[in-house]
Amino acid sequence: MKVNKLKFIFGILIILSVQLFIYGYNQPQQNQPDELSLVEFKKEINSNEYVLVYFNASWCTVCVKMKPIIEEIEKEYKTLKILRINTDENREISKEFEINSLPVLILYHNGIIAWTQYGVMTSSELKSKLYFLK
């Protein structure tokens, strides 16, 4: 009986260890926190000359299509800071800026909105809006 209990406990520990490894340690690292306070957000959009805010959600299929485009822009435009705001995790910001559809891109220049885009954009469309940053 004691041997069976030890095998059972040992089996549970192995299963938990594997799950922890798969779901805990193997998560992709992001360059910004998942949740940002409204004060921190406003500080970010005012602290850099150009900031592109990308409002998105994990359930939004169009946002998923935009993700590689945003990553490409981030690599190509070194002077542009990109803030990814997940509307589910940052409800205070989403409510403050009245984000009712996704995706939304807002370009800030010294804290002032330069342009806003609702919906999907191709890479070339987005680059044409950012031509002055090269």
| Residue-wise pLDDT tens digits, 101-132 | 999 999 999 999 999 999 999 999 999 999 98
Catalytically annotated residue among 35, 42, 44, 60 = 60
Q: Can 14 be counted among the known catalytic residues?
A: no
Q: Are strands 81-86 and 112-118 parallel, antiparallel or unpaired?
A: unpaired
- Model confidence at 28, pLDDT cuts 50, 70, 90, reads very low
Residue of 68 and 3 predicted with greater confidence: 68
Of 117, 101, 98, 102, give the one whose Cα is nearest residue 52: 117
Catalytically annotated residue among 52, 63, 83, 105 = 63
Q: Can 24 be counted among the known catalytic residues?
A: no
pLDDT at 102: 96
> Over pLDDT 90: what percentage of the chain?
69
Of 33, 22, 73, 30, give the one whose Cα is nearest residue 51: 73
pLDDT digits over 55-67, tens only?
999 999 999 999 9
Please, where are the H alpha helices in the chain?
2-20, 38-47, 61-76, 91-96, 123-129
